[in-house]
Structures are given as structure tokens and as C-alpha cells.
Structure 1
């Protein structure tokens, strides 16, 4: 536990005050109607939305998760989330344009645009609660758990004290400021969080126990943890850490903030953009900042923690008050921060508070938007006034905060939720990608994918079944086969259901195509059918321009992964590799720019 100085308290207090003032100042405009409260009038610029996306995904649990990964699987273990760059860039170059053209208020509203009848209405209502409340509460509980651990390790606070102090301020400015308040505070929160993370990494590397960057990278506990690629000789780890994320996970799994085809709070920000160009610019800017610039301060601190705290016993020895149910490798990040000096400690604590508030405020507004727009307004009070909708949104914000706080007290570590999200979303991602480009997908396809993914995940993770099928010594399948098997079985289920149920009506399909103009061979039969009935659906020659969009995605991956690993080479002192990687990034960036200009002129 550390003792905060007067300067530390001033820095933290000043930060709290500014965020509260922002929420109060914009509350009047945000409360005008539900569009303002949840989308800020759909008039936000790309750079502000991009920074908001990054700030939202900063979170207090993210450095803890990265630390957990690095300590157990090395730097290469981060491929479990680095692989989601492919999802992100596919959203940038293909789906951002489609989302903005849909002009819906939430991505859940999309269901009644793409599908029709009672199944579409059920899907919209059910998913609004399933994602807006259940999954959203789980996600916020993980963030709050991280805040609890930081508060316990660094300040010796009880969990309820952390929840009341940080949570109360967050829920107040979220309820009053709405989406506009969230985005405006995110602008401040991003810079505070980034400066704090970088400053902490610099100071920790210079500690006597570490002895500088060169000593850190050659230390016996660290030297085998720095590779970008997992060990080829360890087949199970190589397949689990690298092959499955790149070959299967990125397109097959639903994960908050990395939904295949865009969705959730990423879609919320695309829908809040001034136009489709700003939606594209925001998501591309987000992916650069998120993957290329943000991870290294956390990775450095995680590597340093292996020197100071080589195992869980050493963490427990220094922090005996930590309960055993909260003891995990993710605690090492907070433990290292206790070594910061006065002033810097206050800044870093403020940055962690910023990360917490940014993520929670986004989830609160996003979840409330589902409850209000897609459940309350559709199922309970279709004629509710705008004033009433805003009130329900504010009440929902408070309720979501309370539920997530109670759940956080029951959780143990960040990897629990990460694994849960991946398993429960396994197999659904392909459907989210194809529903824009294949007319045959219907509402029952999505319902069956959602239900089967959950049932199959729970079944294969049952102790007896898990032991029989995936035991490392006697199982029928290797351990790494569990996730692909869930994906395969779920995909078989929803494709079978698709062909065994009636397609959507011609009117629903015609209306969707006429509005979105997705293009592609998956809609050819519908376009031909409409044309034979003297209905002209095609209005844009290029449609979504899928081939060039995929090419831009591939080039973008080379650019951003190149930036990520170039930074690593410079940090590692591998200057020849760093120079070559820098040159490669420049070449691919030029190629990407040429393709991008063909896809969408005058992006900014």
C-alpha cells in the first residue's frame, strides 16, 4: 500500500472535478431528446469519435489483462487480442460505410431493417436485453474488478469504497451528460491515461531492481518472454496463441469492441458521425491508436514485474491483505505502480481513474441506448415522449452501474471474462459478416447462432465433458481444438437453420438492398428477381466495393502490425530489424493510400 501526498490528492481531485463539470455543462443539450442523449445528434467529427473509441477500450482491466498474458505466455500471448485488428480494419474499409448508410439509432435496430415480422421484433427485443444488460453488466464488472484490485493493492481500500467513490462520479456525469458528455470527457481521459501509462513505464524501468531497459531484456525471468511469435517447438501454445486467433478467432467470435462487421459501442460512434467519411476516418484512427501505439507501456511494465514479482507467492508476500480469491498475475501491474514517487503516483492514479471512467461511461450510455430504443420504446411505451425516453435512459444508467458493481465483487481475474466472451460468441461472427452480403440469411439464422453458441460453449466446458474431450493427456481432441470445435458446431447449426426456414420476404430484402446498396454476388438473385418485376434496386455502380475493401484491410494490417513491431524492435535495441520494419511500413502505407483513394475520396 502507498501513501498519497497532498500533490497526489490535488491531481486526482482536479481530474474528478473537470469530468463532473463537463457532464453538467452538456446535460441540458444532451437531455433535449433521445437522439442527443445517445448519439449527440449524429454530428460528431472523426477525430473526436476516434479518440473516444480508444479511450473507451483503454479501461482499467486492459493493462491488468495484458500483464496477465505477458507473465504467463510472453509478449506473443497478446495475439489473442492483436488478431482482432483484422476485424477492426474490415469494419473500417467495408462495414463503416454500410452502418452509416443504414441511419439506424442503434446496431440492434438493424434487425428490423434487415429482417421482418415477429422473429425480427423478437430478436431486436431479446438482444437489447441480452447485450445491453447481461453482457454489458459482465463487461463493466470486469472493469470494476480491475479498479477494485488497483485500489486494494495501491491504496489498501475496501472494494465498496472504490465502487462508491469512482463509480458514483462516473454514473453521475454519464446520467447527466449522455453520449456528448461521454465523448467530450473521453478526449480528456485519453491523454491523461496515455501520459500516465508512458510515464509509469519510464520510471519503473529505471528502478534499481530493474537497472534499465538493457538489464530488463536480458534478465533470466524476461529473456524468454520477449518474442513476438510463440515458440514453434511448443505445438499446443503455437496453435492456441497464434494460429487460432489469426485463422479462426478474429472472424468467428463476438467480443465487445471487436464485433465482426462492427457493432456495440463502435457502431454507436459510427452512427454518431457527421457522415460516412467521418465514420470511416474515426474507425481507422481508432485501430491505429489501439493496436500500434498503446500496448507497449503496459508490456514493459509487465516484463518488469517478472523481475520484481516472479510468481504469485512474491506478490502475496508484499501484499498480504489481498484476499486469495483476488490473487492473480493481473495484480502485478498494480503492484509495480506502488513503486512510483509522489506526483507521478497521483498522475498515474488519475490516468487509471480516467481509463475506468471512460470505459464505464461508454458502456452505461451504450447499454441504456439498447434498453430505451430497442426495448422500452418498442415493447413498453411506443408513444413515450422524448423527455420520458431521456428519463428512462438516465434511470437505466444508474441500474446498470449498480448491477455491474455487485457482480464485480464476485469475480476473481480479468481472464475469466475474456475467455467467457470469446466462448459465448464463438461461431456467431461469420453470420455478422455475411448478413450484409448474403440475402438468404434470416432472423432465425441469428437466433439459432446466438442460442447454439451459448449451449455448445456451456456443454463443452462442463467438467466431465471437458475432461473426456480435451484433457491434455487422455482427451479425444487436443486442448487447442475446443474453440474451433465450438465455432464449427455453431456454424453448422445456423447454416442448417437458414436453409430449413423461409427466407425474408421480397419486400424486406428489396427495401434493405435499396437503402444499403451492399452489392456482391450474394444479392445477385434478388437484384435479378426485382429487375424482372421492373424494380430497379441498384443505385450505386460500385456497391460496397468488397474486393478493394478486403485489399485495403490486408494492407492496413501490414501497416499497423508493422508499426506495432517496429516500436518493439526499437525498444529491444534491434536496430537493423527496426529500420527494415520502418521501411516496410512506409511502403505498405503508400500502397494503402492508393487503394483507399479508390474506395472513398476525400475521407477527411
Structure 2
């Protein structure tokens, strides 16, 4: 494969120091994890700022680190509207969700669902989350490794294996305390890397920062999207805002990864502080990443030929994925000429890092990209192990399990989920398109169903467990129909799957329908009781 041999000994040294520091963090906290409470909840003693930085690092995955600049480079700032929903989401999470978890004796986010609707709801949500995490871990590691092959010249599978082993190792030995501290360290690396890259790019623009960004503005690169309320098939400003509200309610409201940070905090006030810090910090940082993407457009737009090498690398990779083991130069050049900005967008930022940043800074930025991936993966491993212990092993198999048994289950399931996530990423190398289709399908169906069930329980006190099952089935049917309608092949074979809605509507309409049905049921039951009392 064509590569960009840009790494120096200093860059490798910085990257090595980063990996050693992360592993050392896990080893340091090894002795402190003598019981399950420490492994899963850190003794409920951590400061709010630490939990908040961990939430921020988890939220800013490698997908965001690479995809946000890519979106602005190939498009505009429409996707940044997603971040504008975070203050609203944070308020709702602090006001309604946080008290549920802080008052509970369980470390599971889904124990409340059992109290509200029964065991089926807890197991359903927990099972969905566990499946979701396997897919998410695989996608994060795969998408992180793909652009890194351009820099290192390694096989993408080798990069996935190295990352999977390291992140599983420190999650395994250190527990939630090591994960949270490592997340906080990685958060500062992420911030430093983004700010340095932004400054170097801004002041290296061909026509200077002011004129270059003005040209980008004239080209519509700062547009937040259409404000047309009737354009249901487009990613409008209003749709992205609504999508961000429900997606972030799923994250900050019901995601086990975030809930464990709330529980690990030393007090209710510290837990609230962690939510506000993690959510509000992301708003300006995501704007910085979009500015980087717009800056990349301004940097390369005057002379698109600067990206010729990148296009050839991407073209060779795509040809190999499609079955051509060793495409010749003419095939690579011909395919490279057909690639759009969208198809190379996720790799433009790593390409800029490799070719334009000075020695040392380059190593720091690559460490930041690894940090974004490892933070998300380690969080997913710890939260998955926690649920497997609390919602399945203790709840269904051994309620009186000893501390030794609990720790054995936690470490075994951390290793298991790390292995499954790594295998998922390796499968994506061979079956890229199918794997990503599965990811989007699971994200739409499973994520929307979970947040819908929680919101139903909070907003409709008259809905009992039997009615909740029916409403959940109706909501899941709508979510499934809208998700399957994204598949072009299925739409051709089954015309009834044709949907006029943009894919962002899935997590908006699915839970909204469940809330509406819950409201109608509650209204009917209240009126029935009123009539009976009057009679």
C-alpha cells in the first residue's frame, strides 16, 4: 500500500510515552480494585471535574476527531447544530435522570426500568446496550486504524490488534478508576492536539486567515443548513437540532457509560458538575474541529493537486477492499480521479498532520487520535462488564455471589467484550460495507428503542408494564421500518419500505411516537377513573 513516511524517531517516542503512560495508569490502580464496587463505581468517591473530563473524552471519540473536520471540509457546518442541543440535554439529564441513578443502590442504568416496567425492560435495554457496544467498539477501532495505515505503513489489522490489546489490558487491570483517570489525561491530550493543529493551520492558510475564511464563507462553508420546516428528506437546521436532542438524551440520560460516571462521583453536586462540564466543553471544542475542517478546505482549495497522493492512497485501498490484491498504477490513477471530496474527507486531517505539521507536534496529534479511540473503547468495555455482572450474572444466576466471583466475572467479561470488539473491527476490514450497514441499523433500532422506553416511563405514570410492552412494540416497528428504508436494495425489492424521511428522523419519531401513545393511554385511563368515581 502507498504510504506517507512522515514519522520520525521523536514522533515515535512521543507516541510510545503516551502508550506507556496509559498502561501505567491501569497498573497503578490495580491494587485498588479489590472489590466489584471499586471496579465498577470507584467507591463513589471521585471529584466532579474528573468525571466531567472523562465524559468529555468518551463523547469525543476518534470518529468525531476525524469525521467533524471531514464534514466541514466536504460540506458545511450543518452537523455542528447537533452540539447546540447539549445545554438543553444537560439540563434535562441533571433535572430528571441524575436523581434516578444517584438514589439507586444499583450501578446499572437499567435497574430503574425493572422497577418501572418489570425485569423484561431491564434485560431488553441492557441486552441492546451490550450488542450496541460490540458494534461501537469495532467501528471506533476500525475507523481509527484506517487513516493510521497511511502514516505508519502498517497493515490495518495489525493496528487494530495493537490498539485492542492495549486498551483491553488497562481496562482489565485498572477498572473504572483507571478508565476515568486515563480518560481525563486523554481529554487534555485531545484538547492540546486540536488547539495546536488549529493554530498551525490557521496561520498557514495561503491567503492569510481572514481572507481565506472569508472566501470559505462566500462558498457557503459556514452554512448551518436549510431552515425549511417542510423539507423532511433533508438534513435541515431544525432536524439536526431535534436529532441532537434525542441522541444526546440517549447519551447523557440512559447510556451506561455516562451513568457510571454519575455514580462514581462523590456527591450529587459533583455528579451534576460532571454532566455540565462534559456537555458544555464539547460545544466550543466541536466548533474548533469544524473550523479545522473549513481551514483544510481553504488550505487545499487553491491547489487541489496537493491532495493527489492522498487520493491515490484511498483509491488503492478501495480497490484492494473490492478484491484487487495488487492494482497497477494506471488503475489506481484512474480510480483516484473519480473520488469525490466526501470519499476522502475522513483522511484529509490525518494527511495534513503527516505532511504539514512539524516533528513532535505530529506525534502529539497522532497520540490524540489514538486517545479519542481508546477513551471510547475502554469506557465501553468497563460499562459492558458492569452490566453483564449486575443485570445478568447477579440478577439471574448468582444473587449472592462473593467478591471473588464478582471480580472474576468483571475481568472475564472485560476480556470477552474486548476480544469481540476487536474481532468486529477485523471483520470490517474484509466486509467494510456490510459491517457499517449493520452498525447504522443497530444504532438506529437499538438506541432509539432504549431512549423511547425511558422517556415513556418518565412521562406516562399511568402506563403499566403490559401497556409498555405494546407501546414498545409499536415504536420498534416504526423504528425498524425507517431503518430498513435506508437500504437501497431492500427499497427496490419491497416498495412499502420507501420512506420520505431523512435518517435522522429515526431517533426523533420513534421515541416521540412512544411518548405520544403513553400520553393517550394515560389520558384515557384518567378519564375512565374520573367517570367511575363520579358514578
Task: Quote the residue 2:69 is aligned against.
Answer: 67
Whether the 8 Å contact between 1:45 and 1:273 is mirrored in structure 2 is yes
Alignment length (residue pairs): 489
Task: Quote the residue 2:209 is aligned against.
Answer: 213
CA drift at 1:192: 1.1
1:23 pairs with 2:20: no
Task: Quote the residue 1:534 is aligned against.
Answer: none
Matches within 5 A, 1:270-309: 270-291=262-283, 293-307=284-298
2:90 aligned residue (88, 92, 101): 88
SS at match of 2:219: coil
- Which shows bigger deviation, 374-383 or 414-423? 414-423
CA distance in 2, matches of 1:302, 1:485: 27
In structure 2, the CA distance between the partners of 1:252 and 1:195, relative to structure 1 (3 Å rule), is closer
CA distance in 2, matches of 1:363, 1:453: 26
Task: Quote the residue 2:334 is aligned against.
Answer: none
In structure 2, the CA distance between the partners of 1:44 and 1:212, relative to structure 1 (3 Å rule), is same
1:359 pairs with 2:387: no
1:226 aligned residue (182, 201, 222): 222
2:51 aligned residue (49, 52, 62): 49
TM-score by length of 1: 0.72
- Which shows bigger deviation, 323-332 or 304-313? 304-313
SS at match of 1:435: helix
CA distance in 1, matches of 2:27, 2:450: 40
CA distance in 2, matches of 1:10, 1:464: 48
CA drift at 1:188: 1.2
Whether the 8 Å contact between 2:141 and 2:163 is mirrored in structure 1 is no
CA distance in 1, matches of 2:511, 2:376: 30
CA drift at 1:441: 3.1
Uncovered stretches (5+) of structure 1, i.e. residues with no partner: 504-521, 530-604
1:425 aligned residue (442, 447, 457): 447
- Which shows bigger deviation, 366-375 or 451-460? 451-460
Task: Quote the residue 1:440 is aligned against.
Answer: 462
CA drift at 1:198: 1.1
2:312 aligned residue (313, 317, 325): 317
Matches within 5 A, 1:506-517: none
Task: Quote the residue 2:124 is aligned against.
Answer: 126
Whether the 8 Å contact between 1:23 and 1:181 is mirrored in structure 2 is yes
Whether the 8 Å contact between 1:428 and 1:453 is mirrored in structure 2 is no
Task: Quote the residue 2:338 is aligned against.
Answer: none
Matches within 5 A, 1:174-573: 174-207=171-204, 210-219=206-215, 223-227=219-223, 229-232=224-227, 236=231, 240-246=235-241, 248-253=242-247, 257-258=251-252, 261-291=253-283, 293-307=284-298, 314=308, 315-317=310-312, 319-323=314-318, 327-339=343-355, 340-409=357-426, 410=428, 411=432, 417=439, 421-422=443-444, 424-426=446-448, 429-444=451-466, 447-448=469-470, 451-460=473-482, 461-462=484-485, 463=488, 466=491, 478-480=500-502, 484=505, 487-488=508-509, 491-492=512-513
Whether the 8 Å contact between 2:246 and 2:507 is mirrored in structure 1 is no
- In angstroms, what is the RMSD of aligned CA positions? 3.6
CA drift at 1:362: 0.8
1:163 pairs with 2:157: no
Could you report, residue by residue, the CA deviation over 1:407-427 in whole angstroms, capped at 9, with x for unpaired residues?
224245989856862455346
CA drift at 1:279: 1.2
In structure 2, the CA distance between the partners of 1:86 and 1:262, relative to structure 1 (3 Å rule), is farther
Uncovered stretches (5+) of structure 2, i.e. residues with no partner: 323-342
Matches within 5 A, 1:4-15: 4-15=7-18
TM-score by length of 2: 0.80
SS at match of 1:257: helix
CA drift at 1:437: 4.9
Whether the 8 Å contact between 1:255 and 1:421 is mirrored in structure 2 is no
CA drift at 1:220: 5.6
In structure 2, the CA distance between the partners of 1:455 and 1:350, relative to structure 1 (3 Å rule), is same
Whether the 8 Å contact between 1:68 and 1:330 is mirrored in structure 2 is yes
Whether the 8 Å contact between 2:80 and 2:290 is mirrored in structure 1 is no
Could you report, residue by residue, the CA deviation over 1:299-328 in whole angstroms, capped at 9, with x for unpaired residues?
122113324566898542355543356954
In structure 2, the CA distance between the partners of 1:251 and 1:60, relative to structure 1 (3 Å rule), is closer
In structure 2, the CA distance between the partners of 1:328 and 1:108, relative to structure 1 (3 Å rule), is farther
CA distance in 1, matches of 2:300, 2:362: 20
Whether the 8 Å contact between 1:43 and 1:273 is mirrored in structure 2 is yes
In structure 2, the CA distance between the partners of 1:323 and 1:446, relative to structure 1 (3 Å rule), is farther
